Structure formats: structure tokens, C-alpha cells
Structure 1
Amino acid sequence: MARKPVQAQTYNIAVVGQGGRLSYEALIFAASLREMSPGFSGRLLVMEPQPGPLWKGDPRIQQTDVRAALADLGAEIIPFETRHFGSSYPYGNKIEMLTALPPDEPFVFFDTDTLVTGDLGQVPFDFDRPSASLRREGTWPIPQLYGPGYTGLWQSLYDKFGLDFDSSLDLSQPDEYWQRYLYFNAGFFFYRCPRVFGEKFLEYALAIRDTPPVALCAQSFDPWLDQVALPLVIHALGGGRDTLPPGLLDGSVTCHYRLLPLLYARESTRAIEVLERVTAPNRLKKVLKGSEAVKRTVYQGRGHKVRALFDQNDLPRKEQAIRNRIKKNGFWIR
């Protein structure tokens, strides 16, 4: 059945850009956005953390050629202050950067290691009902032998913030199975106002980090803190797991590849074609060769050697097994 046309939407896209790998990923993201979604009419905002006492070094994008290439692709570099996380928890960037986005304007956040592979205009965002990526594994919590199970652990958080726990459950999944409980990957999320979303995200994340419920005394929040707080924020703001049609984000329109060797190992042939097409122009190639990962994996062809290690119809179930095989063969690079 043909999909109904999506009414044109205007919104901002935000990614985090800082020195090192993320700056090159931001450049690839911007190039893929312009190539694959030429009708996108919003602003592309590369959110850049500023130096301060919580950073061990200067987190800003140092390479002038990367900054110039981002500007050439219509990206705006927007500074934000780090007041709570920094080097000890860099995933906190995606929480703290929300305060620097334009208020009262719909936004979609993407992790920088995302490739746009289709037309974002096909995606019918409901900015009143936030959601996030369902491409995830059951990484948190890890119930202990003598402690509470999934229900007790998650309910302790909903109770802490005065949220209704029962309405968050997917009753089609078995009791005490991780997918019954609202859990996302933080690779993308969206809402109608970044300030409202960001204030609640920060409130919940800091409260979980600093004064967690007793039930969570044996649980680790590093690196999972953002993904522990995120479902609570989405639930509190009236969103959920079913506010987007499946198969678009993390499907035909975007690809959250995480690292380039993983892209070649497990993503679609189309994702690889898009990556190689958008990184081919000489003006970008000169800049992207500053990244050893891009130079070796894309331009020197190591990615295709990684691809040959795997049967695309029979991939290992766990990401760690994919990583281990790539490392064993000497092709791992960040």
C-alpha cells in the first residue's frame, strides 16, 4: 500500500560536534543530509561544547577546514556551556546542548554517527508526542540474583518522579522481559520544544545520578544514564514507543551506524553506497582524510574487507561479537 504523503514540516536538526572523531562524523552527517534530503528547510545546528572546568581539554572543533566544510554545507555551529557532565560523562552533551537550541521550535536530535539515507520529508514527526530510537539491546538494567527484577527496578524510577508506571508497559511482551518496559537508544529523539524536553531530561538524569532509588543500588549508570532517563522524559511528556511509523528512522531514511567498521559489517548495501557517494567529492575528501578512520575504512577500502568477514543474512546477534571479529582481523578503528 502506498504511504500517504506527509505534510511539509519545518524543524531544526541538532547533532553534537566536538574535536576529534565527532567533528568528522558531523561533516558526514551534514553531507548525507544535503544529498539525500535536499528539501529539508530547517536549520542544521552542530552543537559545540565550550571549554570549562568539567573538560580535561578543549572540546571544541579545532580543525579550521572541518569548520569551513560544515559552513559550506549550511551547518551552523552553536556553542553551549557544560555545567553538569563534561569529560566524566560526555553522553551528557546531548542533555546539556538542549538548553542552547532555539526555544519553542520543534527539533530532532541525531547522534553524530548517523547517516541520512533517504528523504526526511517522508517522516511524519508528531512533535507533540516525543519518541526515540527503538534500535537497542537490553543493556539496562541488569537484574541481580537476589534483587528486584525489571518491574521493581523500573517502577522505582517511575515512582520517584511521580509517573504512571503501568501505562508505560508493552503488555504484548512477557512479564520480566526487557522489551515490556519502555527503553530506547538515545540515537535520536524529538519534541516540540527543546527547552521543555531539556529541563526535564536534566532534572531526571541528575536525580538518578545523585540520589537513585534504593532498588538501583547495584545498577551501573555509566554509560547508561541518558538511556535510563530518556524513557521517563518521553513518558512524562505524553510520548511513547509508537509515535512514528516503523521502518523510516533507523530504516530507509536514517542509519545509526555507531562506528565505520560496524557500518560496513552490518548495515545495508544502500547505506554503504550513500556513505561512499557523499564522501567522494574532492573538496570533502581533502578534509575527511584528516580522520584515520575515514581514510582507512572508506578511502583505502578496508571497509569492504570488513564486509567480506560477515554473512549479511546471518549476522551475530550481539554487537560485541561483531566488534570482536573485526578486531581479530585487524580492521578495528575508531
Structure 2
Amino acid sequence: MARKKASGQNFNIMVVGQGGRLQYEALLFAASLRAKSPGFSGRLIVAEPQPGPRWMKDPRIAAPVRDALADLGAEIVPFENRHFGEVYPYGNKIEGLAALPAGEPFVFFDSDTLILDELTALPIDFNRPAASMRREGTWPEEELYWPGYTVVWKSLYDKFGLEFESTLDLSQPDEYWQRYLYFNAGWFFGADPAVFGQRFTDWAVEVRDNRPEELAVQSLDPWLDQVVLPLVIHSFGGGRPGPDLAGLDGDVTCHYRMFPLLYARESDKVVQVLEEVTAPNRIKKVLKGYEPIKRMVYQGRGQKVRALFDQNDLPRPEKKIRNKIKAEGFWMR
């Protein structure tokens, strides 16, 4: 299929990178971005948490990965964890926004994402922020003595003085999770990372430390970022992404999460891109330091996982996919 002409939009991209799994995922992200989105002319910023009281071990990226990222034009920019850190690593995507240049449009991606096609062809309206709709009804959880979806969500909007009714998808039934504004935080975008990030940080800390009583029986770990993100997006005049941005959850990017799941359920295009961008020797010698990539991609275990499933008729829920992979002895994370 012919590649769409790039729109020429200027924006920056942020992923989080740190020692361990995320550094290799960030490198793979950078490789796929350079290979599949040549029209992207902004900065690729790898936000790196720094050593301090909130990390037991040094979280910085290892030297070979740093060099490989630099070769791909990525910039490693440090940031400090003031509120989160090891006890809630998802907070990196919140506090890490401080590593981006203020006043310049941005897109955040989880590091376990592949770029499949030209990003700049997408008509992103940065003044109307949005986030990924590739999500399940993970929060809030239905409990025996809980007040229901509407009461729980409205209590959060009320806490920050936000209007609630316009966030509802009235095509969905009352008290059904999809009626309420809820995202996967695997990608989101906005016009100004400094303003967006400060509000995201302030509100996440406030919900963590002073939750509404309506949330008393709800867990916020690991869901805090996904609880607060809809509030922040709504406060800046954003909401659900329209059909023009469906590619961010489809044929332009893929949030694969773990390599066994990628091989089990993603499209042939995703597998092709993965194996293409990991092939050059200059990146292969670095990526082989990460066991899941070494075994799944370079030693062919991923193709064995793929052969276990019909990608057009996958088991549901996801747990069944995981269990089948584990039963065959192929699970890695």
C-alpha cells in the first residue's frame, strides 16, 4: 500500500527509557520510528529518570544502549522523580513530561510501541488532546458495596471542578464502562508538555493522597495514571480521538506490550516491521543483550508462538492467550 504523504506537522515525541527492559524497548521504538516515519522531523526525547531517594538502583540507561540511541538521533534527557519512582514506575510518563521543551506540541508513547507507518500523515489536532482507546474496562472495578460507575467518575470530575456530562458516550448504556471517558495511557498528546505535565502531576498526587470517599474500595495501583488522564484531557478541551486517528491504535502504531503477545495476536505487518528493524547488525548486537528479544526474534521462538494461534480467531480474554503460551513453555516478559 502506498505511503500517505506527510502532513508536515512539527511535534516532539517522548518515550521513557531506563536501565532494564525499557531501554531496549526505547531503542526498538527509535529504530522503527526512523525506518517507518521518515517524515518526522521533530525531536525524539527519551526521558530518563535519575538516581535518587525514589530509586533503590541506578535507573540510568546502559552505555551501549545510549550510544545506539544516539546513532538513531534520539536525545536522552534526564528528569527527577519528585513524587513517584520505583513504588509507582507508571509515574515516569507523568513526571517525565518535564523533559520536553515547553510550548511545543508533543506525543507520548509507551516504550513498548512500534511505529509501522508515517506518523506525520495523521491529522493530529494538538489543541484537542486525546489518548489511546485500545483499552479494557479495568477501572473502576465492580465491588459488592460500591456506588457505581457514574458516582465514582463524577466524584473525580467534581473534585477538580470539571463538568462531567459532556464526557459521557450516550450511545453506551448507563453504568457500562464504555459510557465513561477512559483511556489506555499507551499514547496521548497535547499542545504544551509543561502545562499538561504539571496538571497531570498535581492531580495524580492529589488523587493518590486525597481520594474522594467514593473511591474508598478502589485500587489505584497500577491504574492511577489512567484514572487521572481523562480528567486532564477533558480539562484542556480534549476527549475521545476521532476516526482519523484510528491508526494510532491500528496500522500506524502498535502498543505490543510483551513480545509473546505481539507474536500471538498482532498483524503480519507488525511482525514484519519488528523483524525488519531488528535485523541490522549495529542494532542487533545491542538488542541481543535483552533475553526476550534474543529468544523471540533472533532465535525464532516468536514464530513458534505465532503458530499456536489463528490471529483471526484469538481466544478471549487475553489471559487465555497467556496461559496457552505458558503451557508451551514460551512465555517471557
TM-score, normalised with respect to structure 2: 0.97
- Contact 1:26 1:113 (C-alpha < 8 Å) held by counterparts: yes
* Amino acid across the alignment from 2:61: I
- Contact 1:17 1:112 (C-alpha < 8 Å) held by counterparts: yes
Q: Deviations for 1:171-203, whole angstroms, at most 9, x for unmatched residues?
A: 000101100000000000000100111011011
> Could you say which residue in structure 1 is the equivalent of 2:15?
15
Cα distance in 2, alignment partners of residues 151 and 163 from structure 1: 14
Cα distance in 2, alignment partners of residues 140 and 120 from structure 1: 30
Instruction: Give the secondary structure class of the aligned counterpart of 2:134.
Output: coil
> Could you say which residue in structure 2 is the equivalent of 1:288?
287
* Amino acid across the alignment from 2:319: Q
Instruction: Give the secondary structure class of the aligned counterpart of 1:86.
Output: coil
1:143, distance to aligned residue in structure 2 (A): 2.4
Cα distance in 1, alignment partners of residues 239 and 259 from structure 2: 30
1:283, distance to aligned residue in structure 2 (A): 1.0
> Could you say which residue in structure 1 is the equivalent of 2:117?
118
Instruction: Give the secondary structure class of the aligned counterpart of 2:111.
Output: coil
1:234 to 2:207 alignment? no
Alignment of 1:140-289 (within 5 A): 140-243=139-242, 245-289=244-288
> Could you say which residue in structure 1 is the equivalent of 2:32?
32
Instruction: Give the secondary structure class of the aligned counterpart of 1:313.
Output: coil
1:96, distance to aligned residue in structure 2 (A): 0.3
- Contact 1:130 1:243 (C-alpha < 8 Å) held by counterparts: no
What residue ranges of structure 1 are gaps of 5+ in the alignment? none
1:254, distance to aligned residue in structure 2 (A): 0.3
* Amino acid across the alignment from 1:133: S
Alignment of 1:73-84 (within 5 A): 73-84=72-83
Instruction: Give the secondary structure class of the aligned counterpart of 2:28.
Output: helix
* Amino acid across the alignment from 1:42: G
Instruction: Give the secondary structure class of the aligned counterpart of 2:272.
Output: helix
> Could you say which residue in structure 2 is the equivalent of 1:43?
43
Cα distance in 2, alignment partners of residues 21 and 3 from structure 1: 31
What residue ranges of structure 2 are gaps of 5+ in the alignment? none
> Could you say which residue in structure 1 is the equivalent of 2:91?
92
Cα distance in 1, alignment partners of residues 311 and 10 from structure 2: 36
Q: Deviations for 1:60-88, whole angstroms, at most 9, x for unmatched residues?
A: 112x1111110000000000001111010
After superposing on structure 2, the runs of 4+ consecutive aligned residues of structure 1 that deviate more than 2 Å are: 2-7
* Amino acid across the alignment from 1:171: L
1:244, distance to aligned residue in structure 2 (A): 5.7
Q: Deviations for 1:125-177, whole angstroms, at most 9, x for unmatched residues?
A: 10000000000000000122232111111011111111111010000001011
- Contact 2:157 2:231 (C-alpha < 8 Å) held by counterparts: yes
Cα distance in 1, alignment partners of residues 4 and 74 from structure 2: 30
Cα distance in 1, alignment partners of residues 181 and 317 from structure 2: 21
Cα distance in 1, alignment partners of residues 328 and 18 from structure 2: 30
Instruction: Give the secondary structure class of the aligned counterpart of 2:125.
Output: coil
1:250, distance to aligned residue in structure 2 (A): 1.5
- Contact 1:111 1:188 (C-alpha < 8 Å) held by counterparts: yes
1:242, distance to aligned residue in structure 2 (A): 3.1
- Contact 1:125 1:244 (C-alpha < 8 Å) held by counterparts: no
Instruction: Give the secondary structure class of the aligned counterpart of 1:186.
Output: strand
TM-score, normalised with respect to structure 1: 0.97
* Aligned pairs, number: 332
1:7, distance to aligned residue in structure 2 (A): 3.3
- What root-mean-square deviation, in Å, do the aligned CA atoms of Structure 1 and Structure 2 show? 1.4
- Contact 2:6 2:39 (C-alpha < 8 Å) held by counterparts: no
* Amino acid across the alignment from 2:299: Q
> Could you say which residue in structure 2 is the equivalent of 1:58?
58
Over 3 Å counting, the alpha-carbon distance change for 1:212 and 1:44 in structure 2 is: same
Q: Deviations for 1:26-50, whole angstroms, at most 9, x for unmatched residues?
A: 1110000000011110010001000
Cα distance in 2, alignment partners of residues 154 and 279 from structure 1: 42
- Contact 1:126 1:244 (C-alpha < 8 Å) held by counterparts: no
* Amino acid across the alignment from 1:220: S
Over 3 Å counting, the alpha-carbon distance change for 1:65 and 1:277 in structure 2 is: same
Cα distance in 2, alignment partners of residues 307 and 266 from structure 1: 8
